[in-house]
Amino acid sequence: MREGTTILTLDNGYHLWTHTDNVGGKIRLLCLHGGPGGNHEYYENFAEKLKDIDVQVTMYDQLGSWYSDQPDFTKQENVDKFLKMDYFVDEIEEVRQKLGIDDFYLIGQSWGGAITQEYALKYPKHLKGIIISSMTDNIAEYIVNINKIREHEYSKEDLDFMKECENSGNYDNERYQKLIDKLNCGYVDRKQPPAISHLTSTVATSVYNYFQGDNEFVITGALDGWDIRNKIKNISVPTLITYGEHETMPLETGRRMAATIPHARFATTPNGGHHHMIDNAPVYFAHLKEFLLDVENGTF
């Protein structure tokens, strides 16, 4: 492991962009971005924020994302091989091995939180703990919550119009996009920093559309039906589940998850949306530091 950027060559021949700061830190943290098809950029300040507790921070862009190789997903063979949850879980393990990371904490935001849960179930022996940031253990409860939010935010006329666009696949409609922007500003990217604007403009749309669909508020892709509610009781490592208090994920689901996973804690961030590490960084990082230190000190 060395400080700075390393381009990994995967066994499949593709390349991933990785970056590590504070090499040699006693606590090792590996960061998984959301999307699917997002990138690492909202983790770029984590090393600075966590340096005082001696955390080595490693980030990488998943296959298909902005800084890493992007297979041609117009080819069905690439879709079949790479656009699977299992592929991205195993990719984490290959990155871990190639970078020589062990006894580490895995943090995943949104989509990254889904594959964090799956990794903890498949490869627990390498973990000291996990952080699930803004992610449920199933899509169904997320969909219910999103619809509650939309019913609260919009008039019947606007809501009917949105559903009409969705039923006809008219996602590019200007009025529809303005209504989606309102939800993004209220529940996803509340603080709207330039970094988030760049994150949106660089998303790997082929990956995002395949798994998610057209936007954050309608699931039409392969994630529809994802559900590991009956499995999370088998997550054996210390777990922090952290949500913004004003975001797309249902807080009651986070509380249930924390009650189901044997060694888990639920924390919320006031005034935080789906990217609450940006919306209210002081509270977010206070929760994260407390969790890491409690596990390290044996007081979790």
Please write the tens of the pLDDT for every residue from 54-84. 999 999 999 999 999 999 999 999 999 999 9
Give the other-Cβ count within 10 Å of 249's Cβ. Answer: 24
Identify the pLDDT of residue 262.
Answer: 97
Torsional sign, CA 19, 190, 223, 212: negative
Mean per-residue pLDDT for 30-53?
95
| 195: pLDDT strictly greater than 70 | no
| 105: pLDDT strictly greater than 70 | yes
Mean per-residue pLDDT for 234-247?
97
- What is the edge-to-edge ordering of all strands in the sheet holding 264-269? 4-9, 15-21, 55-60, 27-32, 104-109, 127-133, 239-244, 264-269
Lowest mean pLDDT among 33-42, 193-202, 217-226, 276-285: 193-202
Amino acid at 122: K
Q: In the numeric block, which tokens belong to residue 6?
A: 């390393």
Query: How far is Cα 187 from Cα 49, in angstroms, rounded to an integer?
Result: 24
Mean per-residue pLDDT for 203-227?
91
Lowest mean pLDDT among 6-15, 57-66, 208-217: 208-217
Note the pTM of the prediction, 2 decimals: 0.94
Give the other-Cβ count within 10 Å of 150's Cβ. Answer: 18
Lowest mean pLDDT among 187-196, 233-242, 254-263: 187-196
Mode of pairing for the β-strands spanning 4-9 and 264-269: unpaired
Please write the tens of the pLDDT for every residue from 261-276. 999 999 999 999 999 9
